[in-house]
Amino acid sequence: DLEEPITEIENADLWGGTVTLRNGWRLMLPDLPRDTRLPITVEAMKISDGA
């Protein structure tokens, strides 16, 4: 479980793009329908920060 505010969104529709969390993590979100209701639990892949 991770509950951090989102600070950046790649796609205006949210799904199928990356988001950046307040803690600096970048996550790739699954491609879900635009009308998916929140809150929802998803499995997102952490994108390497190069470290």
The 10s digit of each residue's pLDDT in 5-31 is 999 999 998 899 999 999 999 999 999
19 sits in which H/E element = strand 18-21
pLDDT score of 45 more than 60: yes
Answer for the pair 34, 15: CB distance below 8 angstroms, yes or no. yes
Q: Which CATH superfamily is domain 1-33+43-51 in?
A: NifT/FixU-like (2.40.50.240)
Tell me the CA distances in angstroms from 33 to 4, 17, 20, 22, 29, one per residue in order.
Answer: 22, 13, 20, 25, 12
Question: Counting Cβ atoms within 10 Å, is residue 14 exposed (0-12), middle (13-18) or buried (19+)?
Answer: middle
Helix or strand or coil: residue 46?
Answer: strand
Quickly state the pLDDT bin for 51 (edges 50, 70, 90).
Answer: low
* All structural domains of the chain with their residue ranges: 1-33+43-51
